[in-house]
Structure 1
């Protein structure tokens, strides 16, 4: 009985520690003002957009057109990963009319081995082309966007300013969710709630990223990911894949960049890349389970992280992020042990009622202040604010579903997941996926 009580106390203390770290990060991120952007825009930088695509006929045409209209001097490379629909044909048609657009096609058996491998394969080829042209790779910037990504006009000017510092090897753009335009009905309400929460989540991530920028631990998250070509060429020359072979290849690519050289830094860009949300509970939970499993796969980075000379706060922040799926598993285990506590008549850590009330008030207060700030930025109506509040339990339930799924796939060694499905948006051209 004493052994069980000790185990339960350990679970409760671990959960309380994780909750305390979460509160600390959220409070500091909420209180600190956004840092002022320094530097003069470097107009000599050249941008190449890389778009990994697998069965993206629903959205790829409009994405390419958006980039050509918004960043007319940029090159666009679509990496077709053996699509079975009209993705390649649509891009070939665009490329035939526009020399700034090109298509790289992967074939089996190398195809469909993950986004990271597709990017490594494509980058090695594009860099070789740039070197043949005599390009200065220090001024060549690659930008990874998803097949449904749309960039805002302010993004590249902000990137020119951030990347004018030669030590900034990469940057991550803010992500916004484009809401569905379908009518709100009983059948679509859950999906619309999830979309609303995804945009709110990225709003909070924006503040956390601004905090991380202060101690140089900005995370890279795929859509809107900037990388300097000279860094990528150096990694490839050393036989190191810029995008590691894991399900969170984007976050791991940022770790590799930060660990490759002490001076390497990353910036966060407040101008946005917009993307579709996932308006489906099952698909959303599977996506988050994939993200969680990918973060768990980054645990081997921890020894390298603590041997590196990067600032202490950066190491602590990145460590917190990497271990969070494991600690969340501890919290869930603690909750699931409640029936055992009741049956065995034993408890772990028993908190004073006042302490429990304080924790509850802090948690609710943090959620309400984020929603209030989100409302101010987006000028939400009172009805939309109430809708956002009502969406919180749906979002929490979806995240709860994703954790055991991630653990199951991690411990059974499964490394493949279904890709996120896109949908055609009103006014977009393209061929429906088969």
Structure 2
């Protein structure tokens, strides 16, 4: 049976959980950001304002009539408010800063008014709409996001009204029949476009309320001018007064109310709602059933989106702080590290010349193991090599034995995992210094010698080498090359100076045998045994350092699936190690120092920062779509520039070709998202108590040999060993 037929027989494939959960989180974030753009008038917003047109189609009785136009019937009628009656109207709100102040002034003088709200603002601040209704004010519609309706289609007008009503229903549980078009003025200024909109609005069941006096408070002309503009033009005449409670600084409006209300009240004026002034039934209608729940669901979603976006904004500030703090620390401390170890008089102590044991744990490494052994045979330091075959089924041990390389022996064991293989190797080691490497890695001739020199200092218990990507000719390989040089090795210089190195890389590391024995050897408690043993050594009082010249060339994953498997194990294993050694936070001595310096840095830079880093790209996308595009792109390029500076410095320290940095922008856009999903899935696994199994990566044997001394070109690639 073919594979395709077998899949059909099994039924449709389900999306794996490791993809599904991060995908759901991504969809939720995107949905919240789109909803935020929607209710902030950044989505489908139209800021055009039409020029005045002719008035020949506007009925004379409308042009010469009152500011309230009822076009619901076959013949339009207009209305004016009675004498000594003021209808205070407020447009564009509610605003969280100014609307409460306006309401406070109205309540102070027991005045009522009409608030023509926009749907976008009402959905964002439903509590203010409820307060308006509870305090006896009337609500009118002012569209959803304030376009000039004279420039819109009828479908767009219907949408603006429907969304405005939806927000009002969700906020206060009511509908309204009052409407005021944006950018409107007095009835005598109504032009043909405005009249067409008014007739259409009337046909939809709305009464259009214009104004008698325009305070022009939107221009902030001063409190005295606002009061003068708002006052009725004739003695004791009634008026509909246009004011604003949103759209900018409304402090002058609030101050004007504080003077105008008592002055007009003393002159015998009353302040009331529009329908009360006209002696008609209320414009409000209670909503229920599906319409009510649909409104509540919309307003609720907007509230969740607003709160979530607030949290995301705070997290963006956190990640920005972490990113720049890390970059600053890396540049400064890496410089200090390089200056220290490259001084002519620098020395770890007496030269280390005694033989050492190199352990090579191997499980199904047939394609790589010959390259690894041959590279060790060229070492310029005396070594014994122990290949621990961990129950391989591909003849890995047979390949090594067939090579018959002097000083290389094979230890076979049933499959027990990498920690068990390393512990078995330690038991068979004949020397006090033990070097550990992976079965897919090749050493330079000087690697072992450079790696063991720090043991001249009796305080040093372990040494981290310089792991480098050998198969960097693919895009994924190039991205990992940048990550290794910048993200790993520059970090190791930082941690070396702070004396809190979190990880000895499995590809190239060395240990004192006595140090390993004191902490109980390699543990299988976590999936990151290299991080686990390093933290254990710190807690036992040993110093862990970095040897930048001890280079090892490793085969990095060549597919997204393989990269996922590797980084998933690393991320989850790091979390396990942090949790396992958490008591270091409260302990004393060397353990406490590592706990209060190393664990917070590892948690911040290796767990929290990578998880939050994609927010930079998410907000970049949001800024490009909704604006301000220029500032957003400039800020993102600034972050990228800082990253490029750090990467260039790291490449210079490692004497690497700068041409690989050409893929850095693409790496930041694509690779970072993959690492985010991997880390997010690791978090989910940890929080749900899941258990991640060891995942063996497929190797090709692409990395044949390390460059010769002084040759900084790429390592050669060859066909796998048969």
Same fold (TM > 0.5): yes
Could you tell me how far apart the structure 2 residues matched to 1:369 and 1:329 are?
Answer: 19
Unaligned 5+ segments in structure 1 are 182-191, 343-351
Spell out the pairing of 1:27-426 with structure 2 (5 A cutoff). Answer: 27-32=328-333, 33=335, 34=338, 35-36=340-341, 37-71=346-380, 73-94=382-403, 97-107=404-414, 111-112=415-416, 114-123=417-426, 125-127=427-429, 130=430, 140-179=432-471, 192-204=474-486, 205-218=488-501, 219-235=503-519, 240-261=520-541, 264-271=542-549, 272-298=551-577, 299-310=579-590, 312=593, 315-322=596-603, 327=608, 331=612, 360=636, 362-373=638-649, 376=652, 377-381=655-659, 384-410=660-686, 411-425=688-702, 426=717
Partner SS state of residue 210, structure 1: helix
8 Å CA contact 2:460, 2:543 repeated in 1: yes
User: Structure 1 residue 67: deviation in Å?
Assistant: 0.3
8 Å CA contact 1:59, 1:148 repeated in 2: yes
User: Structure 1 residue 177: deviation in Å?
Assistant: 0.7
User: Structure 1 residue 362: deviation in Å?
Assistant: 4.7
Deviates more, 1:56-65 or 1:359-368: 359-368
Partner SS state of residue 468, structure 2: strand
Q: Structure 1 329/98 Cα, relative in aligned 2: closer, same or farther at 3 Å?
A: closer
Could you tell me how far apart the structure 1 residues matched to 2:673 and 2:615 are?
Answer: 17
Q: Structure 1 389/41 Cα, relative in aligned 2: closer, same or farther at 3 Å?
A: farther
Deviations 1:37-70 (A, max 9, x none): 4234533432111111111000101101110112
Higher relative contact order (CA 8 A, sep 6+): 1
Q: Structure 1 166/418 Cα, relative in aligned 2: closer, same or farther at 3 Å?
A: same
User: Structure 1 residue 308: deviation in Å?
Assistant: 3.5
Could you tell me how far apart the structure 2 residues matched to 1:307 and 1:14 are?
Answer: 30
User: Structure 1 residue 294: deviation in Å?
Assistant: 0.7
Could you tell me how far apart the structure 1 residues matched to 2:401 and 2:407 are?
Answer: 12
Question: Alpha carbon RMSD of aligned pairs, Å?
Answer: 3.3
User: Structure 1 residue 195: deviation in Å?
Assistant: 0.7
Give the number of aligned pairs: 384
Deviations 1:238-296 (A, max 9, x none): xx3433421111011100001013xx101101021111121211211221111111111
Q: Structure 1 169/67 Cα, relative in aligned 2: closer, same or farther at 3 Å?
A: same
8 Å CA contact 1:57, 1:87 repeated in 2: yes
Q: Structure 1 158/165 Cα, relative in aligned 2: closer, same or farther at 3 Å?
A: same
Could you tell me how far apart the structure 1 residues matched to 2:664 and 2:419 are?
Answer: 34
Deviates more, 1:413-422 or 1:62-71: 413-422
* 2:326 paired residue number: 25
